[in-house]
Amino acid sequence: MEPPPAGQGAEREIQQARARPVQVLPQGDHDRYSYQEERDHRFGLSLVGCVLVIKLVESLSQRHWFFDSRRTGMRIRSALMAAIFQKQLKLSSQGRKNHSTGEIVNYIAVDAYRLGDALSWFHMAWSSPLQLAFAVGTLFWALRLGAVPGLVPLIIFGFLNMPFAKLLQGYQAKFMVAQDDRLRSTSEVLNSMKIIKLQSWEEKFRSMVESLRDAEFIWLRETQMKKAYGAVMYWMSPTVVSAVMYTATAILGSAPLNASTLFTVLATLRVMAEPVRFLPEILTMMIQYKVSLDRIEKFLIEEEIKEGAERAPPHNSDIRVHVQDANFSWNASAADLTLRNVNLSINKGEKVAVCGAVGSGKSSLLYALLREIPRTSGSSGTVRDNILFGKPFENFNHGDLTEIGQRGLNMSGGQKQRIQLARAVYSNADIYLLDDPFSAVDAHTAAVLFYVRGTFKEDRCSCDAPSRISD
């Protein structure tokens, strides 16, 4: 299905905005026609036909506008979700520190979903004042100068809500931050439930989550109070406006207060009720969309992993990994370097072990080869370009299809590590970077795994960072 042309939803919203106030114009003629002694039936039928045509245009325009807005909103939501997912795969280490997993899930589940509805509310944001303008014009046509005093309370109510709009935007932003904190803590508690149960820390973490929920509730309550204030102000305005208009018309004598005029004014005020009722909600939704858009924008402009590795020199095809005078730092803007003056060259088929004390940077070296640590200077050869993922896997109806549970719940630490090693071997890569691969297995199993690893093809090279020299 092809997307709707640009501006088609706006055109249909304009038709709907014009049809609603215009439908009250035949009301006065209908009332005058009902009081005539000699009635022209053709004129009466034309009035009925006008009402039917106007209602038909309004109904069709509204349905098509709603359908197009929803369809475009789904595309917007899908595009944002895809952009957030792709960005999360390319986030640098500093970006992952700034945005936790819970926050990223919140961007998709809350912000992207909310922005999918933004188009509908955007059209309502400009069509509601347009409908009010048409309705005010109708009131001037019916009451003339008597309609002027009725606009005064409407303008006053509008100005009274302006300062609360800024407060509402600030409260909404703080509420979203508090919600992110609660979701991040809840996610960490659920992922670490084994340790929490083992140490009997349930009450401590429950109190922590409840305190974060209380802080979130404070900002939620403040936000809802400001919304309620705006709703009360706008719900009061039609009643106050109608009372002021009738009083001014009676005093000024600008228009006869007969049945035709009264029904026309009442019908116009009823048409005004819907845009007036939606105005505070529109203001609230626009503020929420602005906050969500700023949050997603801040995430999408985060620093990414730089694709700065060069391919191996063509004249020496035996080199698989090459690093020359390279400096690496987890924080690219900081002066302190994590690894300094690194020089490393691994040829085809070599098995390299990186030894050192705890905290000496063995794991950081492997992360640097994977370009997970930003390189501040020097040069490095490719690693990921030579790793072959996506190998086909044959599924059998019977075999080693053991249910392992979510996040390996049913496996021990040694079993998890052996499965990870098996997945690495199955990938049939040219380069293997193994960070303490035998830490969770006993000495006998480690010896067997070491022997199996030694049976790699001669053209495969590996770089190990064991924690024990005996490994």
CA distance 56 to 62: 10
CA distance 363 to 435: 6
Most confidently modeled range among 273-287, 377-391, 409-423: 273-287
- For residue 453, what is the DSSP state? H
**Which pLDDT tens digit goes with each residue over 145-182?**
888 888 888 777 767 766 776 777 778 788 888 888 88
Weakest-pLDDT range from 122-136, 245-259, 442-456: 442-456
Q: How far apart are CA 338 and CA 374, in angstroms?
A: 10
Each domain of the chain, given as residue ranges in start order, spans: 75-300, 307-391+410-471
Q: Which of 312, 344, 441, 396 is nearest to 453 (CA)?
A: 441
Q: How far apart are the C-alpha atoms of 354 and 464, rounded to whole Å? A: 6
Residues 223/171, Cβ–Cβ less than 8 Å: yes
pLDDT band at 397 (very low <50, low <70, confident <90, very high): very low
| 187-237 pLDDT per residue, tens | 888 888 888 888 889 899 999 999 999 999 998 898 888 778 777 776 777
DSSP of 75-103? HHHHHHHHHHHHHHHTB-HHHHHHS-HHH
* Cα(450)–Cα(144) distance, integer angstroms: 95
CATH topology match: 75-300 vs 307-391+410-471: no
Checking if the pLDDT of 401 tops 50, the result is: no
pLDDT in tens, 360-391: 777 777 777 777 777 776 655 544 333 334 34
Output 436 or 76, whichever has higher pLDDT. 76
Whether residue 354 contacts residue 400, with contact meaning beta carbons closer than 8 Å, is answered with no
Supply the pLDDT for residue 310: 52
What pTM, to 2 d.p., does this model score? 0.57
The CA distances from residue 469 to 355, 357, 404, 464, 465, in Å, are 7, 10, 32, 11, 10
**What is the structure's pLDDT at 243?**
83
Burial category of 101 from C-beta neighbours within 10 Å (exposed 0-12, middle 13-18, buried 19 and up): middle
Is residue 79 scored above 90 in pLDDT?
yes
What number of helices (H) and strands (E) belong to the chain? 14, 6
Rounded distance between C-alpha atoms, residue 129 and residue 125, angstroms: 7
The CATH topology of domain 75-300 is ABC transporter transmembrane region fold (1.20.1560)
Mean pLDDT of 75-100: 85
For residue 428, count other CB atoms closer than 10 A to its CB.
12
pLDDT, residue 332, reads: 61
Confidence of residue 282 (pLDDT cuts 50, 70, 90): confident
Report pLDDT for 18: 57
CA dist 466 and 449 (Å) reads 13
Q: Which pLDDT belongs to residue 218?
A: 92
Q: What is the pLDDT of residue 156?
A: 79
The pLDDT value given to residue 6: 46
CB-based contacts of 61: which residues, under 8 Å, 6+ apart? 12, 13, 15, 16, 19
CA distance 171 to 423: 48
Residue 15 in this model has a pLDDT that exceeds 60: no
Instruction: For CA atoms 145, 150, 155, 156, give the dihedral sign.
Output: positive
Q: Which of 324, 345, 426, 431 is nearest to 385 (CA)?
A: 431
Q: In Å, how far are 170, 177, 198, 425 from 111, measured between CA atoms?
A: 16, 12, 36, 40
Percentage of the chain modeled with pLDDT above 90: 6
Phi, psi of 3 (to 5 degrees): -70, 155
Task: Give the pLDDT band of residue 468 (cuts 50, 70, 90).
Answer: low
Domain 307-391+410-471 superfamily per CATH? P-loop containing nucleotide triphosphate hydrolases (3.40.50.300)
